[in-house]
Amino acid sequence: MSEKKRKPIRWGMVGGGRGSQIGYIHRSAALRDDTFALVAGAFDLDPERGRSFGVDLGLDRGRSYPDYQTMLAEEGKRPDGIEAVSIATPNNTHFSICKAALEYGLHVVCEKPLCFTVTEAKELKALAEARGLIVGVTYGYAGHQMIEQARAMVKNGDLGEIRIVNLQFAHGFHSAPVEEQNPSTRWRVDPKFAGPSYVLGDVGTHPIYISEVILPHLKIKRLMCVRQSFVKSRAPLEDNAITLMEYDNGAVANVWSSAVNAGSMHGQKVRIVGSKASIEWWDERPNQLSYEIQGEPVRILERGMDYLYPEARLDDRIGGGHPEGLFEAWANLYRRFALAINDNRGLAPEGIENLCFPGIDAGLEGVRWVENCVRSADQGGIWVDYG
């Protein structure tokens, strides 16, 4: 894909302030390829802390704003105002900030979950479409190159007919009530800030999106979910959940979402079982994909190698053997967000029609999945038709 030289997209941030968990990776990913330039921000709930953080990042003091409403209004008056904004605040604010940014005519990169309900997600989708704006959602792990290899292998029939999808994102970091000390965890277990779920939305939606990328032809027909609060004070929000799913082609799936898998680091794994072979990807070894043909020795495919499908080498920056990680995966996604935005502005290079990135539909589908899981779990774990 050839790159035309063009000016970076003028970009602002809401949230992601000093000490936040996810702000740094947004900046590092967006700025990696000079596709975005950070020119404004409302980084923090605390106006003065946010302002001084923006100045430390190199912003003009006047463009490091006390709150996002002021940023949108002031930037909207400038001929060189921001063209896109990233939202890296707690979940309860995503809907209103995203809506306001779209109403100001800005492209948006929003943290997951996009919002709390499918109704809200549809409203954002309608607004983005009416204004002709891009909304990207940071399912960052999907930017790993071996996900593209897995997608191409399924598309090319290397696995045969898909039968079983085995998904998990089950870490152990919240096996004890760490929220008593840690503010980044505290809001995650409070429905006012986190929404209708904790681990389903916080971690489960990541492998769900990856499965949508690898298996675009599979549509969920029905599911059942049970959820638990092993740390009792987290109720009604769950710190562990198990979901079973049936797809409309007869394939089945299970999804384990957890923050209490004691001893596990990330534990995000995606295993796809077909009639001929299986593949397995683990986010703690993201440069490898296990390819297991029935009756043959296991093959470990490595990132950046010539034997991969071309789609899996499009984002290659340095060649095989050099380990890449989450920062590169996010940078790949931000580069695709920039391509989509530039395409929207008539500035993109040729050949990006097949660009695969988590957009507004990915955001909506994540919210839909959580909503269905909660509907099932709250009726005692019954099968529900996917709505």
How many CA atoms does the CB half-sphere of 167 hold within 13 Å? 24
Using the structure block, give the residue that is written with the tokens 């919002």.
115
> Which of 80, 107, 62, 79 minimizes the C-alpha distance to 71?
62
Which of 12, 54, 90, 304 touches ligand NAD (CB under 6 A)? 90
Q: What are the DSSP calls for 76-110, one per residue?
A: HHSTT--SEEEEES-GGGHHHHHHHHHHTT-EEEE
The three-state secondary structure class of 111 is coil
Q: Kindly state whether residue 143 participates in binding ligand NAD, applying the rule CB under 6 A.
A: no
Which of 45, 235, 262, 382 touches ligand NAD (CB under 6 A)? 45
Q: Kindly state whether residue 69 participates in binding ligand NAD, applying the rule CB under 6 A.
A: no
Which of 6, 8, 22, 327 touches ligand NAD (CB under 6 A)? 22
Measured CA distances, 6 to 35, 39, 194, 289, 377 (Å): 8, 17, 38, 35, 49
Which of 35, 138, 145, 166 touches ligand NAD (CB under 6 A)? 138
Which of 14, 108, 115, 142 touches ligand NAD (CB under 6 A)? 14
Give the separation between CA 75 and CA 379, rounded to whole angstroms. 47
Beta carbon of residue 346, minimum distance to ligand NAD (angstroms, whole number) = 30
Angle formed by the axes of helices 118-131 and 94-103, to 10°? 20
Give the separation between CA 147 and CA 356, rounded to whole angstroms. 11
The three-state secondary structure class of 291 is strand
Beta carbon of residue 343, minimum distance to ligand NAD (angstroms, whole number) = 23
Q: Kindly state whether residue 136 participates in binding ligand NAD, applying the rule CB under 6 A.
A: no
> Which of 202, 198, 36, 213 minimizes the C-alpha distance to 108?
36
Q: Kindly state whether residue 287 participates in binding ligand NAD, applying the rule CB under 6 A.
A: no
Which of 88, 218, 329, 340 touches ligand NAD (CB under 6 A)? 88
The residue type at 147:
I
CB 333 within 8 A of CB 136: yes
Which of 30, 36, 44, 281 touches ligand NAD (CB under 6 A)? 44
**Span interacting with ligand NAD, options 16-24, 98-106, 147-155, 252-260, rule CB under 6 A:** 16-24
Q: How does strand 268-274 pair with strand 162-170?
A: antiparallel
Angle formed by the axes of helices 360-377 and 205-214, to 10°? 120
Which of 35, 64, 86, 89 touches ligand NAD (CB under 6 A)? 89
Give the separation between CA 129 and CA 214, rounded to whole angstroms. 25
Nearer to ligand NAD, 15 or 196 (CB): 15
Using CB under 6 A, count the residues that bind ligand NAD: 23
Q: Kindly state whether residue 86 participates in binding ligand NAD, applying the rule CB under 6 A.
A: no
Beta carbon of residue 16, minimum distance to ligand NAD (angstroms, whole number) = 6
**Span interacting with ligand NAD, options 82-90, 142-150, 353-361, 373-381, rule CB under 6 A:** 82-90
Beta carbon of residue 205, minimum distance to ligand NAD (angstroms, whole number) = 9
CB 32 within 8 A of CB 333: no
CB 98 within 8 A of CB 110: yes
The mark string for 94-123 relative to ligand NAD (x by CB under 6 A, - otherwise) is: -----------------xx-----------
Interface residue list for ligand NAD (CB under 6 A): 14-17, 20-22, 42-45, 68, 88-91, 93, 111-112, 138, 140, 184, 202
